[in-house]
Amino acid sequence: MGRLNVTLCGIELENPVIPASGTFGYGYEYADLYDINMLGTFSFKGTTKEPRFGNPTPRIAECYCGMINAVGLQNPGVEKVISEELPKLAKCFNKKVMANVGGFSVDEYVYTAKKIDECEQVGWIEVNISCPNVHGGGIAFGTNPENAALITKAVKAAVKKPVIVKLSPNVTDIVAIAKACEEAGADAISLINTMLGMRIDLRTKKPVIANKMGGFSGPAIFPVALRMVYQVANAVDIPVIGMGGVSSAEDVIEMMLAGATAVQVGAANLIDPCVCKDIIEKLPQVMDKYGINNLNEIIGGVK
């Protein structure tokens, strides 16, 4: 293993840098810019059972040190992802990819995860439990330990590939939810998803985005994400993938010191499509600067 290599749920990665779901499309869109095989892997666009147009526009708003989005899981549905998107990816990416799965009922999560599980290209299934439960009053599955465990257990029972549960920060006790997912069989935890934010147009005196509120991401949320990664990594015995405001090699190392085995880069991809390439290339220099010989030595280094 090289000094950047890490192992995630039994699969070795050349480095810990992973573009986050929703910020890297299905991967091939970036392949004209650089060789995406240099990535550890990436998490492709959130996929649901049925095609989704997403939320009404406008659904993106800029803000200081970040952005707000309410895209609403726009995707062509799992059948077309498998028949159209993954074959395109196979032409330019020769590693296992991470599949991000969403749903609005337990049955939808299970259906989509089972379909994705059959794909040879997929190495991990990342389950986004920030989706609203349509049979439970619209409350997101990830807002309480019981519902989070319910989804985790159902998906885990339906698939063979490692299950990574992606947690929302919009909760009172993220540790309790992470532990519930671990006890229900999760192979890893990824966090944090976007925080809840809002912007108002002073001219119209109305919310900037049609959904009024949306997911706040970008450098401004990094300290919150780091804190939650640290808390969860010290509470569970399964790997943690850290994300939230990561935009530099230094941020990656900080996340790993907090306990992350791998690190996802989200909003920064929308600002600079080559940011992950730059982070990977700069990691050895930053490691040398801080006397780090191997990234595995620093995982959870802060207690």
- pLDDT, one tens digit per residue, over 20-46 is 999 999 999 999 999 999 999 999 999
- Per-residue model confidence as pLDDT tens digits over 135-176: 655 568 899 999 999 999 999 999 999 999 999 999 999 999
Q: Is residue 203 part of a domain?
A: no
Buried-exposed string 235-256: b where 16+ CB fall within 10 A, e elsewhere: bbebbbbbbbbbbbbebbbbbb
Contacts 24+ apart (CB under 8 A), 137-141: 140/168, 140/170
C-alpha 210/C-alpha 108 separation (Å) is 26
**Domain CATH number, residue 270:** 3.20.20.70
Q: Is residue 207 part of a domain?
A: no
Question: What are the catalytic residues?
Answer: 131
Number of domains in the chain: 1
- Per-residue model confidence as pLDDT tens digits over 78-112: 999 999 999 999 999 999 999 999 999 999 999 99
Instruction: Find out whether the peptide bond into 58 is cis, omega within 30 degrees of 0.
Output: yes
C-alpha 266/C-alpha 19 separation (Å) is 6
- Per-residue model confidence as pLDDT tens digits over 179-206: 999 999 999 999 999 999 999 999 999 9
Q: Is residue 210 part of a domain?
A: no
- Per-residue model confidence as pLDDT tens digits over 259-287: 999 999 999 999 999 999 999 999 999 99
Q: Is residue 87 part of a domain?
A: yes
Average pLDDT over residues 231-243: 98
Question: Which candidate, 29, 66, 60, 61, places its Cα nearest to that of 44?
Answer: 29
pLDDT at 134 (0 to 100) = 52
Q: Are 40 and 18 in contact (CB under 8 A)?
A: yes
Please give the residue range of the domain that contains residue 131: 6-54+71-196+215-297
pLDDT at 154 (0 to 100) = 98
Average pLDDT over residues 44-66: 93
Q: Is residue 65 part of a domain?
A: no
Q: Is residue 59 part of a domain?
A: no
CB burial class (10 A; 0-12, 13-18, 19+) of residue 270?
A: middle
Average pLDDT over residues 229-251: 98
What's the mean per-residue pLDDT of the chain? 95
Q: Is residue 280 part of a domain?
A: yes
Q: Is residue 173 part of a domain?
A: yes
